[in-house]
Chains A and B, each alone.
Chain A
Amino acid sequence: MAIRSFFVPFLLFGLYFYSSLSPVLSLYEDQVGLMDWHQQYIGKVKQAVFSTQKTGRRRVIVSTEENVIASLDLRHGEIFWRHLLGSDDVIDGIDIGLGKYVITLSSGGSILRSWNLPDGQMVWESYLQGPKHSKSFLLVPTNLKIEKDSVIVVFSNGRLHAVSCIDGEVLWKKDFEAESFEVQQVIKPPGSDLIYVVGFAASSQFEMYQINGRNGELLKHESTTFSSGFLGEVSLVSSETVVALDSTGSILLTISFQNGEISFQQTPISNLYEHFSGPAIIIPSSVPGIFAIKTNAITIFIRVIGEGMLEVAEKTNHETAISDSLPLSEGQQAFALIQHAGSEIHLAVKLAHDWDGNLLKESIKMNQQRGLVHKVFINNYIRTDKSHGFRVLIVMEDHSLLLLQQGTIVWSREDGLASIIDVTTSELPVERDGVSVAKVEHNLFEWLKGHMLKLKGTLMLASPEDVALIQSMRLKSSEKSKMTRDHNGFRKLLIVLTRAGKLFALHTGDGHIVWSHLLRSLHKSEPCQSPIGLNLYQWQVPHHHAMDENPSVLVVSRCGPSSDAPGVLSFIDTYTGNELSSLSLAHAVAQVIPLPYTDSTEQRLHLLIDSDKHAHLYPKTSEALSIFKREFSNIYWYSVEGHNGIIKGHALKYECTGKVADEFCFDTRELWSVVFPSESEKIIATVTRKLNEVVHTQAKVIADQDVMYKYISKNLLFVVTVAPKGCGEIGSVTPEESWLVAYLIDTVTGRILHRVTHHGAQGPVHAVFSENWVVYHYFNLRAHRYELSVIELYDQSRADNKDVWKLVLGKHNLTSPISLFSRPEVITKSQSYFFTHSVKAIAVTSTAKGITSKQLLIGTIGDQVLALDKRFLDPRRSVNPTQAEKEEGIIPLTDSLPIIPQSYVTHALRVEGLRGIITVPAKLESTTLVFAHGVDLFFTQLAPSRTYDSLTEDFNYALLLITIVALVAAIFVTWRLSERKELQEKWR
């Protein structure tokens, strides 16, 4: 009997072993959303047009700075449809034609497209060419018809076009060939067929063309000279009057061109506002009878009364935003005005001719983290009592989009997340005793019920309702979105920096925003005119002896687009999102080097290199300095000067010899430089290994029990240069005049370890460097296909350490010092394969200990992310691998890499506008976390060698429990049976 029961624990062990090996090849359709999440965004809205027809759903059509056109649900803010246009195809204007087409003008006014409003299907596309580059305008008049055809009026590239709304055919066109004519406005007064084109010529001449909208005939051309010239934009105050500023910015010009006669009216701004000083600018708007100018911090609204008479309507020093006008009934025009006052915004809707009366006045509490209102769009609806109601769409400084109606925020969209600049991760707080934790399972009964349902699902006995219940249970499992650290390291915070200068913390479990913070240091201020965020670094990662500190990140930003603008540092607590401190630097930030040293509070030492090649140490503490001094001679770095093709290596020299003694500033010296001949090579890509990458083993056991040693160095730089002619697009060069050279350079010594030339190849190059290999993607012009190449580096100097006796007797060279003077004996192996798609980004999976095999994550042109096993890119692949090699797992060589649809980690989703892929190791060795960002965000967990160290998500505990119970019962029964049998035997 003992033998029988002895088997039970053994069996259980076997069971665990077996189940952990069960393959998880890819995703089943019902597993979507369990471990991944996908968020869709559109970017900062540039222009919005409302479509509020009586029938159909209410929508708003928007165009954004991410070059998206989208149709949003006005009720909830969800996306109905969305198209991302090409990066060179910038949207200039959008409108709605005939109530059912969305008209977009893009590419500097040369492409006009029409999209079906309900589903976003493109209807037609029209190319508009013209004699010269100019501003472009899109007008969709409601009443202009040519032979029953509705007309779109487009001014672009110095030519006026009338395009049919139905099929995109150009009905007539008129050139404006005057050399210096700069168009400022194209006006179509309602109620007539005339089109006015007004603009400046030769900087001091005002020109007006009157055109017949039916056939493009030029009816009148008038011009007047104004000696002191014009500045900037004009504001349209009526269909026959514009307001401009003179070139000094201090005199307002009211230009009216009624009946084709041009008349000027000059009004110095100081007449209207006595404290006026300095130039003013006109805020572009199109409210009849009113325009706004801005001088210093004051916004002045000015009314136009009668014949060019001006009158100040309101002066304000609050931040304001004004919408375009919205026609109400009987020629009345309304507009919306938003003013900031502390933590509130005041929304006023006024009639254009009645500044003092408000149609609507509301105050709305606004989250300070959203910043200022940048744009306002107004729309009206008829209430049940026939009065007008207004809804207002506002675009905030952090690029979010909000709909205001009846004094509340109806919905908001965090569209700042569409333009992520940099990403880093942070751990969540450790779960402490007493900290209340969201109840995972309510009670045992609920738990069992859940698992019984799952069991039913497994046995395919579940009814459709049950299936739906199971699915919803799995998706909203509160376990994955808890705010504490988990044992497997799946729950983390993704800290993302957006172009708007806002920092978000996203939870990896379900992607919700934990906190967001608009960086004060990235706010426009006097000393810092146009701040831009650059990078995120992990500043403090407490783990050992500083457990009580919260982790923090460093945001490096710069006061302007040029590389010698002064830098700004901000330190943000990642648990709370509070800005701990910020530093305005006196020097620029050209390069940030996180050093592998931390002080006693686990703050990481960072070296900032400025544009004068001085190195500055942060944090500025004496402790950091003493640590730094100890490692002074071991610090090397490199810089890449792409424009003149030089790579330089640097080391530290001594303290700065500036006027002010600064012990945290160091002079540097140049150690080496690699100069590429500018007539034949141009640097297009440089890649290094990730600093925090973990390599598990240096040796690689190959077939026939042989060992190869990987050449693993953190100081390797992979550089790709191309022929200067081949820098352009595909198709611009012939294979003979294009080549691509790949280098591997040691960044401490400047030694070129490997160099390979690909003739007839061309960029763009995307590369990834990991362990001892680099994989790069480029275009092969001869085959006219993309290729992926792999280079692997092996250390030959250790090759003879295989003799056990040598190791035992200590005659190996494993501990011999590495010298700069000795040439490393490196051998390289490489191979190339065809790859079908264009690539937008390429990354590699990373795991906690580096044991798990690697997968390449390739962001394809279709905005999907493909996982490709590194085994497919093994230079030891051959056409006919030997038996031993096959056992080792070498795949027979094929000329192209396979694309298996099931290995798309984004499955049937698109990460629209994909820009980057980030991988973060989980604590569980088998698993890596993948975050892909573009206009959309996508996150998932990936197990490149399957989850060999944990049970899969769909493991059925109930079934296990039932089996165990059954086994125990069976043991009892058999035991009873055998006892009875024994007794009978004894009686015999």
Chain B
Amino acid sequence: MASIARLLLLVLLSTALTVSSGSGYGYTINGRVKIPQGLGTAGLVLPGKMSNIKVILNGGQIVSYLRPDGYFSFQNIPAGTHLIEVAAIGYFFSPVRVDVSARNPGKVQAALTENRRGLSELVLEPLRDEKYYEIREPFSIMNVVKSPMGLMVGFMLVVVFLMPKLVENMDPEEMRRAQEEMRNQGVPSLASLLPGGGRN
């Protein structure tokens, strides 16, 4: 699903120019952030609001926001190797290494640092959605049985219905001896507290 969408995007995208020599000093980096529409948005916690997505150069040197069409630009960038990060709640973006070359301005050199994939154009897409919450599992009888209470009731039932069978198979002599022993040890038991508990 994801790969198909990505493929489609690559086909759809027009040529986004990446690095151009600006007027005066420094260069300009232009790029685009593309959030695939309809992909995984159903299970998303917060639909990524474009207006809150930040594009950050070199760990906070310059912070830029996106235009409605997803384009962003950094101006007056010196030649060298730079790092672009995208901060968007709900998406995981890989930082991008961008080489701004002084010798041949206009040359595009960009690569995702997470998986070392080269980018022919500076189009940044999330690697994956980020879901910050655990999903509550729907109610099922197995969950109740597996819950502490369920186990307790289950154990109780086992004791109530299987123990008598075991006791029946026991030698009455032995049984009496065991009970005698327990009473002698003085284990406080609920039965002895109950009316008539001492009689059996």
A residues near B (Cβ < 8 Å) are 1-8, 11, 14-15, 18-19, 22, 25-30, 32, 81, 83-89, 111, 113, 116, 119-125, 127, 129, 459-460, 729-732, 764, 779, 781, 783-785, 836-838, 840, 860-864, 896, 899, 901-902, 904, 907-908, 910, 956, 959-960, 963, 966-967, 970-972, 974-975, 978-979, 982
Contact = CB atoms under 8 A, between A and B. Distances in A.
A5 B189 contact: yes
B82 interface: yes
Contacts of A87: 60
Contact of A28 (B75, B136, B196): B136
B87 A863 contact: yes
B177 interface: no
Given A18-B148, A86-B61, A974-B160, A731 B190 contact: no
Interface stretch (B1-9, B32-40, B125-133): B125-133
A963 B179 contact: no
Contacts of A963: 149, 152-153
A861 B85 contact: yes
B134 A27 contact: yes
B60 A5 contact: no
Nearest to A86: B63
Nearest to A8: B190
A763 to B, nearest CB: 10
A838 B50 CA distance: 21
B20 interface: no
Contacts of B97: 784
A3 B163 contact: yes
Looking at chain B's contact residues, the main secondary structure is mixed
B60 to A, nearest CB: 6
A12 to B, nearest CB: 8
Given A4-B159, A26-B134, A979-B200, A88 B114 contact: no
B161 to A, nearest CB: 9
Given A29-B45, A907-B133, A971 B190 contact: yes
Contacts of A902: 131-134
Contact of A121 (B22, B51, B95, B134): B51
A861 B59 contact: yes
Given A11-B155, A459-B139, A28 B144 contact: no
Nearest to B160: A974
A836 B163 contact: no
Interface of B: 22-24, 45-46, 50-51, 54, 56, 58-68, 73, 75-76, 78, 80-83, 85, 87-90, 92, 94-95, 97, 100, 113-114, 130-136, 138-139, 144, 148-149, 151-153, 155-156, 159-160, 163-164, 178-179, 182-183, 187, 189-192, 194, 196-197, 200
19 contacts: A1-B197, A5-B190, A14-B152, A86-B63, A87-B60, A88-B61, A119-B51, A125-B65, A125-B67, A460-B138, A730-B82, A838-B56, A862-B88, A864-B89, A901-B92, A908-B45, A908-B89, A908-B132, A979-B200
B118 to A, nearest CB: 13
Nearest to A905: B132
Contact of B62 (A30, A86, A899): A86
A19 B148 contact: yes
A784 B149 contact: no
B86 to A, nearest CB: 8
Given A86-B62, A129-B24, A960-B149, A459 B144 contact: yes
Taking each of A89, A124, A785, A966, which has the highest tally of chain B beta carbons within 10 Å of its own beta carbon? A785
Contacts of B179: 2
Contact of B95 (A2, A119, A123, A836): A836
B132 A904 contact: yes
Nearest to B77: A731
B60 A838 contact: yes
Contacts of B130: 901, 904
B11 to A, nearest CB: 27
A784 B132 contact: no
A94 to B, nearest CB: 15
A667 B19 CA distance: 60
Given A26-B133, A121-B68, A967-B156, A982 B60 contact: no
A371 to B, nearest CB: 32
6 shortest A-B CB distances, which residue pairs? A862-B87, A460-B139, A86-B63, A901-B130, A838-B59, A5-B190
A28 B134 contact: yes
A846 to B, nearest CB: 24
A867 to B, nearest CB: 12
Central interface residue in B63, B148, B156, B191, by most chain A CB within 10 Å: B148
A899 B179 CA distance: 59
Contact of B59 (A28, A120, A764): A764
Contacts of B151: 15, 18
Contacts of A81: 51
A116 B54 CA distance: 16
B139 to A, nearest CB: 3
Contact of B50 (A121, A899, A908, A966): A121
A85 B63 CA distance: 6
Nearest to A903: B132
A861 B163 contact: no
Contacts of A959: 149
B23 to A, nearest CB: 7
A169 to B, nearest CB: 14
Contacts of B197: 1
B67 A123 contact: yes
